[in-house]
Structure 1
Amino acid sequence: MSKPRSLDKSTKEDVSFIDRQPDQLTNQSVGQAEPEVPTGSDCAIAQQSSTQNINALPVDVLPPRLQEIINEANICLGFPKDYLAGAMLTAMAAVIGNTHTAEIMPGWKEYAILFTALVGSPGTNKSHPLSFAMQPLIDFDAEQAAIFNEAMKRYEAAMELPPKDRAAKGYDTNPIEPKRVRFTMQDVTPEAVHRILSENRRGLVLVSDELAGWFKNFNRYNNGSESEFWMSVFNHKAAMSDRKSSQSGVFIRNPFLCVIGTIQPKVLTELAAGNRNANGFMERILYVFPSVQSKVRWNRERKSPSFDIAAAWREILSRLIGIVPAVDSCGEIIPEDVPFSPEALDRLFSWQNEVTDRCNAEGSDTLTSIASKLEIYAVRFSLLLALADRACGDEKKLIDADIVERAIRLTEYFRVTAAKVQGIVSEDALTELQLAVLSELPGTFTTAEGVAIAAKCGMSERSFKRFIKDRKGVLFVHSAHGNYTKL
């Protein structure tokens, strides 16, 4: 298997903050026109509005074999590349689980935990790519469920006998109640999440075709403690549950739990409700949000895939599932650390410093919060891509500079989509006066022009300046000194 191609020099020098975009691929369904991508190594902030419109998940950061599967599924099945790539990344992260870590600094280790939302309007073909990516895990769980059922029958039969008679019947004298091994969860209660997670120490993924069903349950128990639980899980912190409905307290030392599901743009405001847009919950989610939101047409002329893409995908996941981790005396997994090369760390630190400088210069709390979570994801993507490479035949045992470059490009895609989501949520939360001013503002304007327009709408200069400052990077981009562009 060939190794992923290296990024060219212009790509390596062009990854920065939200106003700069990495090289993009067209990831929409076949038959839709490819948008023109701005050229040059430095896209100015004033171009942010147009570049956001063509933002596409950079599928070429993935190993070549995964790219082949995604391209075939796109051409032959009409799966949008963004959705399938995002779902595949999450599936791989789930099966890797607690088996591997990446240490970015002494004592700071990251696991490949992903919270992923496939955002799209009705009819944009979100669910089929999600089902395709998760099917090998569903099949694995079905096989394990059958094994569990047989083991449970044997356990129950043994328990019906007196201990002294069990050995004669071929049973253990003190049988251990079997646990169901699995990778996926779906519509489960909070109590079930804790129990299943405690029984599956490698890791799990919560698959929710409609993410609204996930977060709408947050306030049903203990005044929103579920939101805090999920934020703790995102950070891989020990979790515990002492609810009255539990027979005993549940303690999970190393919880690994990914989340993935679909959501419509109009439901994003509900995701942001309940203080979730203020406590950092929203920023923990990766938004796969294709620019083209058209309903996909059926096409009788589509060809069959040139190879068995389902089998190829299953083979890759099987290699990751086949990882057998070491465990300690308590049964806890001992993760293998995947080290960064010195050059990889240099590149990662340089990128983080550049983003931090831009955050400090912009002064936007929203963009700073997004950046803080995405730098965590950059480390996780580095780990995930390194292990994806291994599953596709690469024998490298470390995270090199090429992998970091690919991880950065992937991270920058999610910076744009996070800002896009914040723009939707922010606009829905505007007052009537703010909406009126936003409507009257042209695509580009100076501070003086904006103040004059706001005054005509009845907004004071001070309120207007605070308005654009609070929405900087979400509704507006500071394109030059005293100049702004609407997103």
Structure 2
Amino acid sequence: MNAAKSSSLLTFPTSVFPKPLREYIEHGSSQNYPDDFVGAALLACLATAIGASHELEVNANWHEPTTLFIAIVGDAGVRKSSSLNYAMKAIRTRQKQQIQAHMLAIQQYDEQMRQAKANKDSCALPELPSGEQTIVEDATVEALIGLLAQNPRGLLNFRDELASWTRDLNRYRAGSDEQRWLSLWSAGSITYNRKTQAPLFVERPVVSVLGGLQPAVLSEVFGQGKSENGFSDRVLFAYPNPIARCVVKVSVPITIREAYASVFERLFALSHISDGDSEYAPHLIPLDHEARAAFEQWSEDYINRKINDPNTPAREKGVLSKLEAYLLRFALILHITAYVCKEEGSCEAISASSICRAMRLVEYFKSHYDKIAASSSPLPDTDKVINWIREKGGTVTKRDIYRAKVGGLDTQAKATAFILDHVGLGVLVAEEVPQKHGGPSQTVVHLLI
């Protein structure tokens, strides 16, 4: 990574948060927890606490949920796990309370079942209670859908090592889980058909993702076709320069911890609305006049101008389009959090102040994306490679590709990786063809589009 890129890396803008959370992050620094890790993780926790209770309404056809996919990135030993645990303290407390309540409900169920059987009263058989929860770990997509049906407010999909999430995406059925996660990011309705039970349907699933990544596995997020289908564009990365480790000699004051916990208690207490068609419907919050003007100007200057520029790389265009949605999601989360902390006077509409604070978060995450893009191996120019194969009649060999060095595929390994990625995406078909005069077979590639 060059010096210019390093100097443009932004530190986490803790000032976007209300005072109790700013102070919590500041005291986390005394525990040797990087502000970037705690701040980014807090965003995902706040999104989870608000959940599906509120959405931002841009217009009748454009609603943004609180859903965030966040990865904190750093080498081993930089206190990623400790920082995550510090930020997640409040939602882990809620999870513990939910588990305790469920265990009590199960005990009552067992007692009622015992009495009903003793009295031979089949009409008095109780219904097995379904427990609420806030955090899921190591769940398949099918299990997650079932949990979302039981927890319509939403969930946090947490992985201490987030690489396990990306590795599991297509373990059972190539492509299907990844496509479901693309839909979950948009909070689009999702249905899971079961063989022996009624289908599961979640109308507006809200599930955020949080975890840590080591730099060495970043290619697993960007590779294997994930940049082409927009998966990696949906992940926000916090990748700060490392801070020096030191011995922790102080504790976080109880007043700071209680103020932090109080913010989450108030967020979890936010209610949803019910209508005739849905058991759980969100409150819709529009942009006020000034906020709308600020958002539209920013969208035109920061997003549209760059996307319309033919010199902007295709990969960056995908990231920019998702950052537009993220700006609105940040504004929603920050506004509601400020409201429960009495730093916003109303929750009837998103303010221009919340939009401006959200802009700072977008700039922060974009700078960390730029760091990753600059420090990782450049991805091939997919359009150039596909067009080149098309110009060659739609069929070429792997050797043809890397000898021509088309689209940055200047080695056999790069050409192999590209072919495997695009076979998985259904763009290419590859076959091993024996050579006429003996020798090793050749990989012949056929274009399907």
Taking structure 2 as the reference length, what is the TM-score of the superposition? 0.79
Correspondences of 1:393-432 after superposition (within 5 Å):
393-394=342-343, 395-397=345-347, 398-427=349-378
Q: Does 1:373 align with 2:328?
A: no
- Following superposition of structure 1 onto structure 2, how do residues 85-234 of structure 1 map, counting pairs within 5 Å? 85-159=39-113, 165=119, 173=124, 175-234=126-185
| Partner of residue 5, structure 2 | 49
Deviations 1:160-218 (A, max 9, x none): 56589488xxx983633211111101122333212111110010001110001111111
- Any idea what the Cα deviations from partners look like across 1:195-243, whole Å, max 9, x if unmatched? 1111100100011100011111111122121111111000010112225
1:360 lines up with 2:308 in the alignment: yes
Whole-angstrom distance in 1 between the partners of 2:120 and 2:260: 44
CA distance in 2, matches of 1:183, 1:142: 9
Equivalent residue number for residue 383 of structure 1: 332
Q: Does residue 1:333 correspond to 2:272, yes or no?
A: no
What is the number of equivalent residue pairs in this alignment?
384
- 1:72 is aligned with what amino acid? H
CA distance in 1, matches of 2:292, 2:235: 25
Structure 2: unaligned runs, 5 residues or longer: 382-402, 411-449
Cα distance in 1 for partners of 2:262, 2:162 equals 28
Q: Deviation at 1:460? A: 9.7
Name the aligned partner's letter for residue 20 of structure 2: R
For residue 236 of structure 1, give the secondary structure of its aligned residue in structure 2: coil
Aligned counterparts of 2:276 and 2:107: Cα–Cα separation in 1: 28
CA deviation vs aligned residue, 1:303-323 (integer Å, no higher than 9, x gap): 433553332221110110111
Amino acid in structure 2 at the alignment position of 1:261: G
Secondary structure of 1:338's partner? strand
C-alpha offsets along residues 367-402 of structure 1, whole Å, 9 cap, x if unaligned?
A: 111110000000001100001101222332221111
> What does the per-residue CA deviation read over 1:49-68, in whole Å, with 9 as the maximum and x for residues that have no partner?
2533x421211111122111
- CA 1:156–1:408 in 2, change beyond 3 Å: closer, same or farther? same
SS at match of 2:72: strand
> Among residues 237, 241, 255, which one is paired with 2:192 in the alignment?
241
Equivalent-residue separation in structure 2 for 1:461 and 1:216 (angstroms):
30
Q: Is the 8 A contact 1:326 1:334 kept in 2?
A: yes
| Deviation of the 1:284 alpha carbon | 0.3
* Counterpart contact for 1:158–1:166, Cα < 8 Å: no
CA RMSD of aligned residues (A): 2.9
Matched, 1:72 2:27: yes
Instruction: For 2:227 and 2:405, locate their aligned partners in 1 and report how far apart those are by CA, in whole Å.
Output: 27
Post-superposition offset of 1:159: 4.1
- AA partner of residue 358 (structure 1): K
2 CA distance for matches of 1:274 and 1:166?
Answer: 59
TM-score (structure 1 length as normaliser): 0.73
What amino acid sits opposite 2:85 in the alignment?
S
Deviation beyond 6 Å, 4+ runs, structure 1: 459-464
